[in-house]
């Protein structure tokens, strides 16, 4: 598990539950700082997955971020009030498309 000694300033929401984050964090790093490793379930078998490479290559850390599905959370930067939902299976087409 990871931990972080520094102060945190922002609030994000994972499946509705508030979590602290630090400005500049990637969404994935903010979740990992709370020991949260699971961001989605795979479309193939429903197995849980989460951040693996942290550099945008593996596509395992996908989640729904502010309504946008299929976001690579390791590349998305947190914003105060950001709403993240774990992605269940294949991404859906979002309303904004």
Q: Where does this chain bind other proteins (CB under 8 A)? A: 1-6, 22, 24-26, 29-30, 32-33, 35, 37-38, 42, 44-45, 47-60, 62, 70, 74-75, 77, 96-97
Pick between residue 7 and residue 18 the one whose CB is nearest to other proteins. 7
| Beta-bridge partner residues of 71 | 63
Q: How far apart are CA 8 and CA 31, in angstroms?
A: 13
Pick between residue 43 and residue 81 the one whose CB is nearest to other proteins. 43
CB of 81 to other proteins, least distance (A): 18
CB of 18 to other proteins, least distance (A): 18
* Rg of the chain on CA atoms, in Å: 13
Q: How far apart are CA 13 and CA 9, in angstroms?
A: 14
CB of 24 to other proteins, least distance (A): 7
Question: How, if at all, do strands 62-65 and 40-41 pair?
Answer: unpaired
């Amino acid at each position: 598990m990871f931990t972080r000694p520094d102060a945190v300033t922002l609030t994000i929401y994972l499946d509705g539950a508030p979590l602290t984050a630090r400005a500049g964090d990637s969404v994935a790093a903010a979740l990992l700082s709370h020991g949260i490793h699971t961001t989605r379930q795979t479309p193939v078998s429903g197995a849980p997955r989460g951040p693996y490479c942290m550099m945008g290559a593996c596509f395992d850390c996908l989640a729904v971020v502010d309504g946008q599905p299929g976001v690579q959370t390791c590349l998305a930067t947190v914003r105060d009030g950001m709403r993240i939902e774990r992605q269940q299976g294949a991404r859906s087409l979002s309303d904004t498309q």
